[in-house]
Amino acid sequence: MHGQTETTLLPRSFASAMHALAVLVAGWLLTRDGALSPRDGALLACSAVYWARATFGMLVLLKRRFAWSEAVMVTGLFGAIHPGMAWLGSGADGPLGVWDGVALVAYAVGSWLNTGSEYGRHVWKKDPAHRGRLYTEGLFRHAMHINYFGDTVLFTAFAALTGSPWALVVPVVMTVGFVVQHIPALDAYLAERYGEEFDEYAARTRMFVPWVW
């Protein structure tokens, strides 16, 4: 899909609407006993914030083609993740602790890394003087795929808030998908489109984790 422009908003609107439905199901799971504990509230807030960010990204920041096949895949993915996190977390006992506070901070940081990096690129790309150039500034100076790393951080934090080790399957599978599939495909496209400019950027910048890897 990289390099192809979108011709309709219908797949994006469908995916966003179905994503919202998944968050509503998560809310029902968290409140079905008639109460909303602090942990339940934190999990629901994480789901709602992610939906808002994802919708903004899909309708405003995403410039490439978003096909119906991808819309269906995204719908299935978040249709499982949000209710799944709610179901796993609703069974956790006890108040929020220090580590839960750390997880909430990490969730905020991961959200900023993802949306903040992509918004910076969006603003930069709107300048006609930058047409046809590769964006390597802002948060992307620290890692070539800092946006994907942000998702790994926030979903690890989201999973930690559930109190269930099973929830960690989500960030693990997501990160493997980034490293094995999404990043190689995107790098191949960028190398073909930007040539030497991309090669120089890749030579001086970490791929995924800032200052590490």
pLDDT one-digit tens code per residue, 86-143: 999 987 777 899 999 999 999 999 999 999 999 999 999 999 999 999 999 999 999 9
> Is the confidence at residue 33, as pLDDT, over 90?
no
Q: What is the pLDDT of residue 7?
A: 55
What's the whole-number mean pLDDT along residues 205-209? 97
195 Cβ contact partners less than 8 Å away, ≥ 6 residues apart: none
Distance CA 110, CA 157 (A): 9
Q: In which domain, by residue range, is 32 found?
A: 1-96
Same domain for 88 and 139?
no
Same domain for 46 and 88?
yes
By residue count, the chain amounts to: 213
Q: What is the pLDDT of residue 2?
A: 52
Proportion of the chain above pLDDT 90, given as a percent: 87
Q: Which 3 state secondary structure label does DSSP give 149?
A: helix
Q: What is the pLDDT of residue 68?
A: 93
Q: What is the mean pLDDT of the chain?
A: 93
Is residue 109 within 8 A of residue 142, CB to CB? The reply is no
pTM of the model: 0.93
Same domain for 114 and 207?
yes
Same domain for 106 and 86?
no
Q: 71, 96, 121: which is the final residue of a domain?
A: 96
Assigned token pair, 209: 């984790």
> Is the confidence at residue 67, as pLDDT, over 70?
yes
Q: 64, 96, 128: which is the final residue of a domain?
A: 96
Tens of pLDDT along 132-190?
999 999 999 999 999 999 999 999 999 999 999 999 999 999 999 999 999 999 999 99
Q: 70, 96, 122: which is the final residue of a domain?
A: 96
What's the whole-number mean pLDDT along residues 14-42? 94
Q: What is the pLDDT of residue 171?
A: 97
Same domain for 110 and 180?
yes
Same domain for 112 and 24?
no
Same domain for 18 and 123?
no
Which spans in 112-195 are helix H?
A: 117-125, 146-162, 169-177, 183-194
Same domain for 167 and 118?
yes
Same domain for 87 and 121?
no
pLDDT band at 1 (very low <50, low <70, confident <90, very high): low
> Is the confidence at residue 5, as pLDDT, over 80?
no
Same domain for 101 and 185?
yes
Work out how many domains the chain is built from and give that number: 2
Same domain for 102 and 189?
yes
Same domain for 189 and 139?
yes
